[in-house]
Structure 1
Amino acid sequence: MLRTLTTAAAAATALMAFAGNAAAQEAPWPGGTVSFAAGAATDNRSKDVSKSDGEAYVWGEAEWASASGLFYAGTGLETIKSSTGSELEGKIGAGFTPDVAGFDLDLNATFKQQFNADPGADDDAWEFTADVKRSIGPASGRLRLQHSPDGTGSTEAWTWYEARIGWDFTSKLEATASIGRREQDNSVDYTGWNAGFTYALTDNLEAELRYHATDADVPGEQYADALVAGLSIAF
């Protein structure tokens, strides 16, 4: 565990330096603004399972948002440990964020590509996400529906349903908890949940501590319970 935490801390330091340089090079962008973010954590968790086999990972992304705030597009990279043999995943996507009857919607499509995968491995996938969000005072809630017609590796079509609640204790400290269900063709169906805190160390730097768990009875680190610590920086 100490080695993992040391690796994550070193990676975070390097990424913060990178993000700072990137921010310094920002230029006006037609029709909107461009932002950058980067981070590191002790595990790469997505839908409450590990994408890095329980090991530390790093990530970075850039996003364009329209002047109206209705549209956005972005790209990013993150380290993984996939069954395809890949250790790096890239993504590119776009979304639409209208307000409907007091609810915030986020509808987006993302294409993901795993680099240097084993020959013949299924190393890419489309993912489609629909979020419905609402905040009332310090309380917040989100419902998420996510689907891929064909996942990476041996996984075929899958769907993820999730409900999340949150509470802002202060302008810096937020707690959130979520529970979700993933149904997959040619892979494990499971229920996952997580709960944790995020704390704004500065206007740009945020720390997170979160516990993840699933009901999947599968050997190894992918579906194992884990306490994950992370740092992220945004400009």
Structure 2
Amino acid sequence: MLRTLTTAAAAATALLAFAGSASAQDAPFPGGSVSFALGAATDNRSKDASKSNGEPYVWGQAEWENGSGLFYAATGFETIKSSTGSELELEIGAGFTPEVAGFDLDLNATFKQQMDANPGTDDDAWEFTADVKRSIGPASGRLRLQHSPDGTGSTEAWTWYEARIGWDFTSKLEATASIGRREQDNSVDYTGWNAGFTYALTDNLEAELRYHATDADVPGEQYADALVAGISIAF
């Protein structure tokens, strides 16, 4: 775990250095803008299941967006506890965000690579995501469809369906809740849900408290219910 945190810290330092370099230039990326984010939480939850075996994790991301906001590309890292033996996952992806009939779409593809995985294990995967979003006043909703033709480890193809609703109580406080279904080849099919709050401590610093649960009857921390606290900074 120490090696993982050291590697993650190095990646975070590189992001911070890059951010400082970018901010020192008038137009480091003509026709677009770059943003950065770093964060940590008490558990790494994805699709309501734990990717860190119930342990704390850190993550970081850098994203470029073109001038119109229609296209973007991103790269990032997160610490994990994978069955492949890996403790660090890197990703790179791109997408576009058109508006159709008053609905905001986000269509993207992401490639993920698990570092230092055990020899012979499946340590990479493509993920494809389609989001349909709509906000009316303080209320918001999102439908998500995700698919991978071949997941990491022993998991083969999987698909995730999710519906989320949200409500902005103030300009700083938001509540969201979602429910989803994951169907996997050569792994566990399950339904997961979560509900929680995010609060903007400052313009750049956000805290989150969220409860996750699944109906998977599997021993261990991966599918166990958990209350997760996290914090992130964007710049």
Where structure 2 has 5 or more consecutive residues not aligned to the other structure, the ranges are: none
In the alignment, what sits opposite 2:215?
215
In the alignment, what sits opposite 2:130?
130
Asked whether the equivalents of residues 64 and 73 of structure 1 are also in contact (C-alpha less than 8 Å), the reply is: yes
Report the alpha carbon displacement of residue 25 of structure 1 after superposing the two structures with TM: 2.1
1:228 aligns with 2:228: yes
Aligned residues: 225
Asked whether the equivalents of residues 102 and 134 of structure 2 are also in contact (C-alpha less than 8 Å), the reply is: yes
Q: Determine helix, strand or coil for the equivalent of 2:198.
A: strand
1:177 aligns with 2:177: yes
In the alignment, what sits opposite 2:186?
186
Q: Determine helix, strand or coil for the equivalent of 2:30.
A: coil
In the alignment, what sits opposite 2:64?
64
Report the alpha carbon displacement of residue 24 of structure 1 after superposing the two structures with TM: 2.6
After superposition, the Cα gap between the structure-2 partners of 1:215 and 1:16, relative to the gap in structure 1 and judged at 3 Å, is: same
Where structure 1 has 5 or more consecutive residues not aligned to the other structure, the ranges are: 1-7
Q: Structure 2 matches for 1:76-115, cutoff 5 A?
A: 76-115=76-115
Report the alpha carbon displacement of residue 15 of structure 1 after superposing the two structures with TM: 9.4
The AA in structure 2 aligned to 1:183 is E
Whole-Å Cα distance in 2 between the matches of residues 16 and 208 of structure 1? 20
In the alignment, what sits opposite 2:155?
155
Asked whether the equivalents of residues 92 and 111 of structure 1 are also in contact (C-alpha less than 8 Å), the reply is: yes
1:117 aligns with 2:113: no
Q: CA RMSD in A?
A: 1.9
CA shift digits 1:105-146 (9 cap, x unpaired): 000000000000000000000000000000000000000000
Report the alpha carbon displacement of residue 57 of structure 1 after superposing the two structures with TM: 0.2
The AA in structure 1 aligned to 2:159 is T
Report the alpha carbon displacement of residue 23 of structure 1 after superposing the two structures with TM: 3.2
Whole-Å Cα distance in 2 between the matches of residues 197 and 136 of structure 1? 19
Asked whether the equivalents of residues 43 and 54 of structure 2 are also in contact (C-alpha less than 8 Å), the reply is: yes
Whole-Å Cα distance in 2 between the matches of residues 130 and 208 of structure 1? 24
Asked whether the equivalents of residues 11 and 77 of structure 2 are also in contact (C-alpha less than 8 Å), the reply is: no
Q: Determine helix, strand or coil for the equivalent of 1:25.
A: helix
The AA in structure 1 aligned to 2:46 is S
Asked whether the equivalents of residues 109 and 126 of structure 2 are also in contact (C-alpha less than 8 Å), the reply is: yes
Q: Determine helix, strand or coil for the equivalent of 2:113.
A: strand
Report the alpha carbon displacement of residue 31 of structure 1 after superposing the two structures with TM: 1.6
Q: Determine helix, strand or coil for the equivalent of 1:121.
A: coil
Residue 24 (structure 1) aligned to one of 17, 20, 26: 20
The AA in structure 1 aligned to 2:20 is A
The AA in structure 2 aligned to 1:212 is H
The AA in structure 1 aligned to 2:42 is T
Whole-Å Cα distance in 1 between the matches of residues 19 and 167 of structure 2? 30
In the alignment, what sits opposite 1:167?
167
The AA in structure 2 aligned to 1:229 is A
The AA in structure 1 aligned to 2:31 is G
Asked whether the equivalents of residues 19 and 233 of structure 1 are also in contact (C-alpha less than 8 Å), the reply is: no
Whole-Å Cα distance in 2 between the matches of residues 53 and 105 of structure 1? 32
Which consecutive segments of 4 or more residues in structure 1 shift more than 6 A?
13-19
Report the alpha carbon displacement of residue 101 of structure 1 after superposing the two structures with TM: 0.2
After superposition, the Cα gap between the structure-2 partners of 1:112 and 1:151, relative to the gap in structure 1 and judged at 3 Å, is: same
Whole-Å Cα distance in 2 between the matches of residues 75 and 16 of structure 1? 12
Asked whether the equivalents of residues 106 and 130 of structure 1 are also in contact (C-alpha less than 8 Å), the reply is: yes
The percent of aligned pairs where both chains have the same amino acid is 84
Report the alpha carbon displacement of residue 157 of structure 1 after superposing the two structures with TM: 0.2
User: TM-score when scaled to structure 2?
Assistant: 0.92
Whole-Å Cα distance in 2 between the matches of residues 161 and 34 of structure 1? 30
Whole-Å Cα distance in 2 between the matches of residues 71 and 16 of structure 1? 24
